[in-house]
């Protein structure tokens, strides 16, 4: 049999081994302490797997809820931003207190310098 590589492979191998040890308990009494130890490990691994699965599901639910809340929050922020700009004026420096940029006019585009004779070549 190939060596197990995943956690699930290890757990399947442990379960198979435990069943085989149980079926041959009369011949393998001297391995009882090892079988008991492996049974304990397998039981704890199953519990950890179920806990991990539940945590994954909870994380996915929380991620969905967070995505919805972020969307709702963005809409409320847009409403508040518009209200602040309306109240103070779009060019008021008071907007900076709310982490909004006041309108300070457009910057004029700087004309590129005329080409020099070296650029033409």
Mean pLDDT for the stretch of residues 59-66: 96
User: What pLDDT band is residue 51 in, cutting at 50, 70 and 90?
Assistant: very high
Residue 71 lies in a domain: yes
Q: What is the pLDDT of residue 10?
A: 95
Number of domains into which the chain is organized: 1
At residue 120, the pLDDT reads: 63
The more confident residue out of 45 and 113 is 45
User: Which of the two residues, 108 and 31, has the higher pLDDT score?
Assistant: 31
For 76, the domain range is: 8-103
In this structure, is residue 117 part of a structural domain?
no
Closest of 20, 87, 68, 10 to residue 41, by C-alpha: 10
Whole-number Cα distances in Å, 10 to 34, 39, 41: 16, 13, 11
């Amino acid at each position: 049999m190939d060596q197990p590589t995943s956690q699930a492979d290890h757990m399947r191998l442990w379960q198979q081994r435990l069943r085989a040890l149980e079926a041959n308990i009369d011949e393998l009494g001297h391995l009882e302490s090892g079988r008991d130890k492996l049974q304990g490990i397998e039981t704890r691994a199953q519990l950890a797997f179920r806990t991990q699965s539940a945590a994954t599901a909870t994380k996915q639910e929380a991620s969905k809820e967070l995505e919805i809340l972020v969307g709702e929050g963005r809409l409320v922020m847009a409403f508040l931003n518009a209200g602040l700009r309306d109240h103070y004026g779009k060019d008021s420096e008071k907007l900076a207190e709310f982490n909004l940029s006041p309108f300070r006019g457009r910057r004029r585009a700087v004309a590129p310098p005329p080409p020099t004779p070296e650029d033409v070549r």
